[in-house]
Structure 1
Amino acid sequence: MLKHLFIYIILFACIQQALAQEDGVIALDLPVRNGLRFNRYAINPTFSFVREQNRYVSFSNKRQWVQFDDAPNTYLFGYSGRFRENIGAGIGLFQQDYGVLTSFGGILNFAYNVVLNRDSNLTFGMNLGFYQSGINEGRVVTNFPDPSLDNIPTQSVMAINPGINYGTAFFDFGLSVNNLVAYNFKTSALIEDNPEQSIGAHVMYTGYMNTRGFLDQSKFSTLIKSDFKKDNTVLSGIVMLTVPKGIWAQVGYNTLYGVSAGIGLNLTKEIALEYNYEQAIGDLAEFGNSHEITLAYKFKKSYRYNYADDDDEEALIMPSRRANGIATRRQTSKNSNRPRVVRQPRTVRENTVEIDPNGVEVNRPDDTPVADSDTNVEQQRLEAEEAARMIAEQEAEAARRAEEARLKAEAEAKLKAEQEAEAARLAEEARLKAERERQARLAEQRRLQAEEAARIKAEQEAEQARIAEEARLKAEAEAKLKEEQEAEAARLLAEQEAQAKQAEEARLAEEAEARAKAEREEDIAMQELDGVLIPVAKDREALEMKNLTELTEKTRIEQQNLLDQLKAKVAIKQQDLDDLKEENDLSEQGIVVAPRAFKSITAENREIEALKVNIDNILRSQGMKITELENVYNERLKTVRDKEDEVNAYYLSKINELKAAQEQTLSARTDLFSNLETIKVATEIERKRRISRAAYDNEQVRYEKDRRTLDMIRQITPRSTTPLRAEDFDSGEVLRNIQILKGVNNADNGYYLVIAVHSDVAKRDEFLRKAVASGQTNIDFFFDVNSSKYYIYYSKYDSIEAANRGLAAKGSQPYNVNMSVVKIED
């Protein structure tokens, strides 16, 4: 009793640790860790698909630490496996008992596979679990009330376990997240600090033994897995050997639960039984052993999947074999066709007449006694004479027929010889005629080929000359434009420097003149400026404000002139944009407009940039002058504090007026600069429209020319009299993996079996001629404008599976050596 109580306390402590601080909540953790045969989706969600060929219905029972009462016990019923070429799925129902706690629920599994290439697969999977956990009152046995048990409610939990697996020919690498999300419907919150939340990583190897005897073609599987939890890391490994006789064995090790071993066998072709034994070691050594037994049923199918272990396994109880229903044909005896001998005896005096197989009478001795009467003698004589006459007639008839047969045979032989001679003569005439026609046809084909080659060469030389001439003219135009731009830049720079120098000289002269004038008019109380009377005082600040006011007025006029010039440039830019847009619109409608006169856009842009710089400089200068005027005004307020003073009032009003005008100028400058940017963006869009239209026209011309060349090669290229070898074909660029092309014009979406890739037109045509000469008349190609390459093919498919089948059946044709799959999509 004390031993059971001690164990109960240990188990209850372990269970409480697993509750993730949620009353009555048990974390989702199915103890499927000792086998690689059934319910593998509980190890990683992708394993319902990975290397799976069949579907199973299974029932498992896992009893842990059986030496203790109320030890953990798990029942699992599942249906899982491969359902489509790229889909695996499963469903499971389970019940787990942990002492007085019980968890009951189900798991939905789904896995989807993506084929990367012939031996590479990427599989995604997810397990969605929903279960209830709480106290099983029927298992509570206590002699005293336990309030802690009364406060544990029944909880409903949903858990999500995603996973991924990358598989090659023999290896699989994968990750999974156990209890990524665990949502408690009772509390409407996620379960935090879940001790069973972990990241699982695995490496699996699957191979076959090539030996003799009992172990021949046995499958060898190894799984190494690690679970990274918050507080610790659990490592495990399983090794399984499956013999084709229908028997398998497996051993494993887990750093937390200990070592395990198991064996399984096929009772029939559909029914299998498996048993696993687990022994705790380390910290759990006192817990003892665990047992797991599984009964499974395999569903038959009539097809095979790719990326799966398609093993032919036997069974302990073999199914009965039925007769194949093929009847054995009786053989005819060799003697059955032999002619029967018909014997026709007739009685004569001393001999018996027989008729042999050729109808000739044959006499043989006969010991039958002859009657002595005359009548019998005469009768026998007459019969003998009659027989002799008949024999003579038969011999004469036979000789006549033999002579007729001889004459007929001679006539037939003579006729046959004459017919054979006539046939030989006609055949020779036909051969000579065919040879003459063939020679004439070859000569004509050579002539056409020479003409076509000369034409193509002439076109290529003309095209190269045109391109060279265009490049020369372009280089000259660019050089000329560069010289013009440099000259224009130098001129503008010189003008700007001269203008700046003149402006500075004018400013200095104006300032000197203003100072002299101020000195002359010190005693004048009022001065008229632009029709406005300006009060003048003799103090320094008043005179300085007067000079600054005159300078700001002149700068304001210069600002306005520069803004007017920029407005004119903006209007010109807007008109150019409107003309370009109208030209593009009309071109798309098929209306051809006359090209506009050449205008140096670079020079125009440089003038605009110079105006922008001048405007910014003069705005900055005007702002500094206004600030200086305001500072002088504030200095005078220190000595002449009365704001109602005529001088102070006038210049305060002037300062406000200048600030308002400056704000308006800044706003106009911002609007003009913004309009320029808007026009620039719109002009670039319209320019790209024109370039795209021109590129489209050029692409159509190239496509029509390529079609004419292909048709000509198909028509005039003769069949080669000697077989061509793979060394005779230049396939150009070799594609190792499936290549995806987008934006290919004049070609439908799909999977193409490409046999050559060329950028050079001459090499493309040479490959096409040799392929046609080898008998491939369906040869074709498409052009990828993004890479400027020609892709040559003769087969196209709508699916990757069909394309792979066509690739596998490419045969030994010399032009198929570097065949690969290219996909075209939008």
Structure 2
Amino acid sequence: MKRFVPILVLFLAFQNLFSQREPRLPADFRQHNLTTYNASLFNPAFSLDRNNPESFAFWSRWQWQDIDADPSTLFFNYSRKLGNNSAVGAAFFQQNTGVFFDTGGVLNYAYKLDFSPLVKLAIGVNIFGFKQTLADNRYQPDPNLPIPQPTVTDDFIIQMAPGVSLSVERLTLSVASENLLDYNFTLNESNTQKEDKVFMSLLSYDFPVALGDLPTSFLRPSMYLRTIPGQANQVGFYTLLNTNKYWGQVGYNNFYGFAVGGGATFFKHLSLGALVELGISSSVTKDPSFEIVAAYFLGKPDERHKVVGFEVDKEEEGLLILGDAQYKPEPIKEDADEIAKEEALREQQRQEQARRLDSISKAEQAEALVAAQRLKEQRRVDSLAQIKFEAAEKTRRQAEERAKMESATADKPQKGEKYEEVKTEDGLEAGYYLIANVFGTKKYLNAFMADLRRNGLQPKSFLRSKNNYDYVYLRRYDTMQEARRARDTNFEGNYAGKTWIFRVVGE
């Protein structure tokens, strides 16, 4: 009994040592501030539109800045799109929670279903594979103590984190779990129980904003809920202002406190940023936490963040005119009957001249008659040519006058018909374009054109320099009559949506 008392005291001291380590860090990745690069760690479906693929990105977080057992996270990620509807990624991560030290990798895949140009459903999954060891080695098990002791092992764990994201125009609702399924291969059992699962949900809305020459900027207020086993639910808010040149965000988490951060893009490809989080709760240390973000974008600069769910739905500025097809004068045709009569007349004259030459004995008289006839014939030809030229000029002038009159009539608006006309547009050939839709964002432009192609159409688009909107057209026509016929027949029955005519007059 006397030998057991010191052992019991030592065991209680050990328990007291670990129970007094405050604050207790939640068992999650603490990635609630990720809004742009590496957002797929928050929800795997975000690799489709919030990871700026194709890019290499780095994220690190230093929690509370304690000297000993400083909780920290490192995440280095590569992501890229495989097409308009899928994306993949691979990452290396290390996380120190103060109790465990995890080192491993992550594979990401996400796929998007387009129900319509405005309604999208994205499904994604992160597969984690990592080695888990004890981060705090201040206590080492003593095999000579006759009491139960924790077993120190290096565990290998596979963890699956699925997520879904539903977007309706500019509104996004997403749900994910960090550890819905996991397995500890060292212990041959599940790594966490059902009640120890971490779930996250987020609701956000994108407001397009105009900032000088940055037409693709947007403001994204968001709120999220995170359920963590053994602790109260975390509720947080943040607002992100994002452009292709810089970004900034402010936020609040009821456990970690207030956060403010920002960053900038240099040389159109390199982005650097930082964030600081200040604790306010009396139950949690008020020491600050820091995050650093760095990324290198490998694609074209205009493929980065765009305004989410932003489509032009108002009347464009400019001249709206309605009218009939423009008159196109027919080419002047020669009168075949008149030419035949002239040939017959000349033949008759030649025959008559031949008879006269036969009846004249003197060569001088024949020569004089021939010369006279030639002069007369030349004058006749010149006279016919002049008459023909004057008739052609008269016909041409009449045709031009008719064309002007009919063009003026054609330009008069008809009730209910939408038609826009510009003199020139960069890169566009003169003609009449059958417009199907207008977009202010590449995301919805690509989705709409992909939907048309799936229906067997071959749409094209052009970007207007005046308003920076993309116009999707089904075909270009040479005349208004052809364009109207295509519009009124629903593009020969191949397109059920509304269309209208956009004319480029040309130089």
TM-score if structure 1 supplies the norm length? 0.37
Aligned to 1:808: 472
Which string of whole-angstrom CA distances, capped at 9 and with x for unpartnered residues, describes residues 438-493 of structure 1?
xxxxxxxxxxxxxxxxxxxxxxxxxxxxxxxxxxxxxxxxxxxxxxxxxxxxxxxx
2:454 pairs with 799, 803, 809, which one?
799
- How many residue pairs match? The answer is 349
CA distance 1:177–1:119, change in 2 (3 Å) = same
Deviation, 1:134, is 1.9
Aligned to 1:288: 287
2:387 pairs with 403, 421, 435, which one?
421
Which string of whole-angstrom CA distances, capped at 9 and with x for unpartnered residues, describes residues 64-96 of structure 1?
011452121111111124342111221111111
CA distance 1:809–1:256, change in 2 (3 Å) = same
Question: Matched residues in 1 for 2:199 and 2:58: separation?
Answer: 27
Question: Matched residues in 2 for 1:99 and 1:129: separation?
Answer: 20
CA distance 1:305–1:291, change in 2 (3 Å) = closer
CA distance 1:129–1:262, change in 2 (3 Å) = same
Tell me the amino acid that sits aligned with residue 289 of structure 2.
S
Deviation, 1:305, is 8.9
Tell me the amino acid that sits aligned with residue 422 of structure 1.
K
Which string of whole-angstrom CA distances, capped at 9 and with x for unpartnered residues, describes residues 751-780 of structure 1?
xxxxxxxxxxxxxxxxxxxxxxxxx9xxxx
Question: Matched residues in 2 for 1:413 and 1:52: separation?
Answer: 85
CA distance 1:243–1:150, change in 2 (3 Å) = same
Question: Matched residues in 1 for 2:415 and 2:248: separation?
Answer: 53
- Secondary structure of the 2:115 match is strand
Worse-matched range after superposition: 804-813 or 185-194: 804-813
Question: Matched residues in 2 for 1:30 and 1:265: separation?
Answer: 25
* Structure 2 residues without counterparts, runs of 5 or longer: 1-14, 310-376, 396-408, 418-433, 435-450, 462-470, 476-482, 498-507
- Secondary structure of the 1:285 match is coil
Aligned to 1:469: none
Q: How does 1:115-514 map to 2 (within 5 A)?
A: 115-136=114-135, 140-141=137-138, 151-193=151-193, 197-210=197-210, 212=212, 218-229=217-228, 232-244=232-244, 246-301=245-300, 304=303, 418-423=384-389
Question: Matched residues in 2 for 1:103 and 1:183: separation?
Answer: 14
Deviation, 1:120, is 2.4
Deviation, 1:263, is 1.5
- Would you tell me which structure has more strand in proportion to its own residues? 2
Q: 2:24 aligned with 1:14, yes or no?
A: yes
Question: Matched residues in 2 for 1:209 and 1:728: separation?
Answer: 33
Q: 2:78 aligned with 1:94, yes or no?
A: no
- Secondary structure of the 1:47 match is helix
Q: How does 1:578-617 map to 2 (within 5 A)?
A: none
CA contact (8 A) 1:110 1:126 kept: yes
CA distance 1:423–1:227, change in 2 (3 Å) = same
Q: How does 1:361-760 map to 2 (within 5 A)?
A: 418-423=384-389
Tell me the amino acid that sits aligned with residue 421 of structure 1.
I
CA contact (8 A) 2:75 2:91 kept: yes
CA distance 1:9–1:413, change in 2 (3 Å) = farther
CA contact (8 A) 1:206 1:221 kept: yes
Q: How does 1:97-116 map to 2 (within 5 A)?
A: 97-99=96-98, 101-116=100-115
Deviation, 1:58, is 1.9
Deviation, 1:103, is 1.0
CA contact (8 A) 2:452 2:458 kept: yes
CA distance 1:292–1:284, change in 2 (3 Å) = farther
- Secondary structure of the 2:296 match is strand
Deviation, 1:142, is 5.6
TM-score if structure 2 supplies the norm length? 0.58
CA distance 1:205–1:155, change in 2 (3 Å) = same
CA distance 1:143–1:179, change in 2 (3 Å) = closer
- Secondary structure of the 1:118 match is coil
Larger relative contact order (C-alpha < 8 A, sep ≥ 6)?
A: 2
CA distance 1:809–1:70, change in 2 (3 Å) = same
- Would you tell me which structure has more helix in proportion to its own residues? 1
CA contact (8 A) 1:725 1:814 kept: no
CA distance 1:145–1:726, change in 2 (3 Å) = farther
* Structure 1 residues without counterparts, runs of 5 or longer: 19-26, 311-410, 430-720, 730-775, 777-795
CA contact (8 A) 1:108 1:129 kept: yes
- Secondary structure of the 1:48 match is helix
Question: Matched residues in 1 for 2:62 and 2:80: separation?
Answer: 25
CA contact (8 A) 1:726 1:815 kept: no
Deviation, 1:805, is 4.7
Deviation, 1:204, is 1.7
CA contact (8 A) 1:12 1:99 kept: no
CA distance 1:723–1:274, change in 2 (3 Å) = closer
Which string of whole-angstrom CA distances, capped at 9 and with x for unpartnered residues, describes residues 574-602 of structure 1?
xxxxxxxxxxxxxxxxxxxxxxxxxxxxx
Aligned to 1:31: 30
- Secondary structure of the 2:206 match is strand
Tell me the amino acid that sits aligned with residue 816 of structure 1.
R
Which string of whole-angstrom CA distances, capped at 9 and with x for unpartnered residues, describes residues 587-644 of structure 1?
xxxxxxxxxxxxxxxxxxxxxxxxxxxxxxxxxxxxxxxxxxxxxxxxxxxxxxxxxx
CA distance 1:143–1:816, change in 2 (3 Å) = closer
Deviation, 1:282, is 2.0
Deviation, 1:301, is 3.5
Aligned to 2:318: none
CA contact (8 A) 2:217 2:306 kept: no
Deviation, 1:171, is 1.9
Question: Matched residues in 2 for 1:67 and 1:210: separation?
Answer: 43
- Secondary structure of the 2:261 match is strand
CA contact (8 A) 1:183 1:189 kept: yes
Question: Matched residues in 2 for 1:247 and 1:815: separation?
Answer: 45
Aligned to 1:339: none
Deviation, 1:172, is 1.5
Question: Matched residues in 1 for 2:261 and 2:16: separation?
Answer: 31
Question: Matched residues in 1 for 2:140 and 2:162: separation?
Answer: 45
- The alignment's C-alpha RMSD in Å is 4.4
Q: From the CA coordinates, give the structure whose radius of gyration is larger.
A: 1
CA contact (8 A) 2:141 2:149 kept: no
Question: Matched residues in 1 for 2:278 and 2:62: separation?
Answer: 12
Percent of aligned positions that are identical: 19
Question: Matched residues in 1 for 2:116 and 2:379: separation?
Answer: 69
Question: Matched residues in 1 for 2:42 and 2:100: separation?
Answer: 24
Tell me the amino acid that sits aligned with residue 388 of structure 2.
E
Question: Matched residues in 2 for 1:177 and 1:100: separation?
Answer: 21
